[in-house]
Structure 1
Amino acid sequence: MDLPAALHAMAARLVTVPGVVGVVLGGSRARGEGRPDSDWDLGVYYREPLDLAALRALAGPDTEVAGPGGWGPWVNGGAWLTTDDGTAVDWILRDLDRVARVWADCREGRYEVGVQPGHPLGFHSPCYPGELALGRPLADPTGELTALRRATAAYPERLRRALIAAAWEAEFLTDNAAKGAAGADPLHVSLCLSHALGILTQSLFAHARRWCLNEKGALATAARLPAAPPGFGPRARALLAAPGATPAQLTATVTAARDLVRETRALLATTPH
């Protein structure tokens, strides 16, 4: 992958900001899945105190930089920039000490799902180590990010078991959706089903020992994983595309969703990987 020269220079300048530990290229560009119009995501890993004034000076007077907490509790700050050559770049702040704590939790099979703008199914804390595992360090003067990236390359078995076990909630959600179907409540049904499918997607990624970073593109990838039942992708898309409006239509959709959830849970329990 050819990296724009402006990004190397930007990463080198970012690590001169007091508090910034290193910079990692993330997102679809790091994974080699970016489109020509994809932004370049730079994870800016820091420790407090972070010199926000210096960071804002580097971004320039026309760019708003959100400090820690400015964007929410998990994706907690950053900026959207455009370089002189027109390259769209996102700075995404990451508190390195918090990332290390989350990584320790993941190794013990503990994780959180938090409310975060831009993450409709919630922010899954394993995203933090996953970003490093799948990212590409651009500036890492202490070597700390490179070492953490090597450590996160191995998916923790306890986290894997915990996320597979969490698939029980998908069945609970389809039971709840049945009540909404009987009351002709398409919003409730749609929310239950999208959440249930999101949980199954996380479980399928974990079963395959793959980091799932967010909802975008995750369903299509999950459909190709070993524990996905036949037709998982088309069946899931059909459930989400047209759940119906009448009690009969919504009930039929929920019945199909229950079948998909149960098949997936059975395969998660029996498919070796």
Structure 2
Amino acid sequence: MPEPSSRLTADDVLPLWPAGPSRPLAGLYLEHDLRAAAGRAVFCYANFVVSLDGRIALDGRVPGSIANPRDWRLFCELAVQADAMLVSGQHLRARALGAAQDLFAVFHGADGAELRAWRAAQGLPPWPRIVVLSRAVDWSLPSEVPPERVLLLTDSTGAVSTGAAHLSAIGVEVCTAGEVAVEPAIAAKILSEIGLSTVYAVGGAQVLHWLAAGGLLSRLYLTQVHRLLGGESYAGLIEGAKLRPPYELRLHRVYYDSAAPGVGGQLYCCYQGGEPDASTLN
């Protein structure tokens, strides 16, 4: 969870590209103004914390050796800018087993009051839409999540399942986004039609593959912790079939944070998806 504000306002984040003077961590990603960058288009962005040897998870969990309060602060700054948070059914199954962290804590936890106030000042509702990608509707919602803020995107079989019927009965909106799988193009059309422009994908390596394969990844945020972890049972940044062609990204921002964790610090990298253009994005 976030560290005390006295630590968060220390001038120890150094912009490396474009280069600039050191600045506070707090507000770093709020200043990216993702809602302005999105415009009216569906703008999907993802965020990961990763070790130098490419581990985002060991034995199914984010390792404590790379998870840290400063990265979490930035995770939350990305979350409060979102119209929607995109998760997988797999994540919700893991939450029910106590095997995954609460990705929605900024919207209901005691430590999120400051950022919730920022969100309210932007005229945004207290909760974003929670968009769940899931073919097998065999999971339950965390108790803190308002069902009326949840949108299930599933295939034609999932849409008529017992699980979908139960969710619909408690207020969840159920949409069919493909016949035999959730198709990115159909999902994007549904999100656009209901006015969800800034979509924060927090569903993990498989959801990142789904976004990239469907051409929907607008921006990738990557916290690179300067540690080597090793381990044989691990997840990398992206999981799925080979991308043909590879998904192109271009460097947008890089910051160095020497404060945590350990002596090596970490980099905050931001990559822009899609074709290069002449416009300037925040």
TM-score in terms of structure 2 length: 0.27
User: Larger relative contact order (C-alpha < 8 A, sep ≥ 6)?
Assistant: 2
More helix by share: 1
TM-score in terms of structure 1 length: 0.28
More strand by share: 2
Larger radius of gyration: 1
